[in-house]
Structure 1
Amino acid sequence: MDTSAPVRILTVCTGNICRSPVAERLLQAGLDQVVPGGFQVSSAGTRALVGEPMQPISADIVRTFGGDPEGFAARQLTPRILRGVDLVLTMTSGHRGEVLQLDASLLKRTFTIREFARMLDVLAQRASGTDAQRASVESSPGALPGSNASDDDARLAANAALWRGLPARAAGVRHLSLPADAADNDIVDPYRRAPEVYREMEDQLAPAIVSILRHARLNARVPGTAPQSP
């Protein structure tokens, strides 16, 4: 595997027109700002309305948070799509089960997006005591050479290595991030429902996306910077 290849993230819901497209486009937009070229985010549905565009309210949510909903077309989740994916983020626990029915090898790389975000928050809390020391060491003279193609490849490789090891580290703190109610792992499905349900979807999804993007930012390897402490 090319160690500097983009980290592949797949978001999954049912129809692939409401929830997972929002997660896809907002994660891609945010991650592109943190590590340009470091991530490839896509989505699919377990019972996709193949070829359909994103639902209008979902598209509005994407635009509101700085993403681009244009050019989207729903696609059906298949074993081929799952092949080579580094991280699968599903909208519900049920979707996670359907992913694993297609590819059981993804057991340790598949999470609901809300549970994964909580795990990252726990990892961030654990790391807060050592981040300042790490940042001091990595920002010392000579630790970060000037930007060139070689340096960029090295940072992309470091980013890829961190994220490909992240599912295992996240799973290691699962017991510390369990919700009071199992339903808190899921994102509500707003399809063919009132605008209020789309707002509920947004309220559930947005904090999870923020947590993931924050983790990416605090652990980024980009030219001229060291990892930041929270």
Structure 2
Amino acid sequence: MKNIRIMVVDDEPEIAELLQDYLEREHYEVRMSHDGLSCLELFREYQPQLVILDLMLPGLDGMEVCRILRSESSVPIIMLSAKKSEGDKILGLGLGADDYVVKPFSPGEVVARVKAQLRRVNLLSVREQKEDVMSFPPLNIYPKAYAVTLRGEEVELTTKEFEVLRLLARHPNQVLTRQQIYDQVWGVTEYGDLNTVTIHIKRIREKIEDIPASPRYIKTVWGVGYKFGGSEG
């Protein structure tokens, strides 16, 4: 089996090398970068299947690197940071990071999160092979292309906004709790901030609903969670 390529980006060589060592023990192929600009160059050359990205980098910081990577690819991004505030975590996840790990951390924990993200991506790819378009006129969702159109016009969603919408659309009229949404979209449970789900739902509604305060598609079931109210046409 061909090795999975992982890129580790951290300006502290000791941390990067420690993660490389643990990942290579699991038979992953690993390349390292120590600043934002060289990270982007390496990413385009190496085409990794997952990126572990430090928030504090010289040159371009991790937030800007994450934004650029997400504009070019849907590859899973696990963000590392010494910042523990919920605001930083929500900002990182809002820019498209798939997971957020606070330093100091256990290398084994990071490896476990890598495996969880890769399992999620594999599951999504299997599902997408069976779907070309999910149509809820006038809304169309294209799972393989990570694209959404509304009345023929493309709707710009972040990767995580798209994955939340797709998850709900795959279960029309079924109520999903915030915890269920977080688990399936972000791929971790015990460290999750459920307010992240609320923020993403609000942003999606602003982009696809004619009247966000009275949504047609994503409905709130008070005290329980959310459900997708459309039916495929």
TM-score by length of 1: 0.33
TM-score by length of 2: 0.33
| Higher strand residue share | 2
| Higher helix residue share | 1
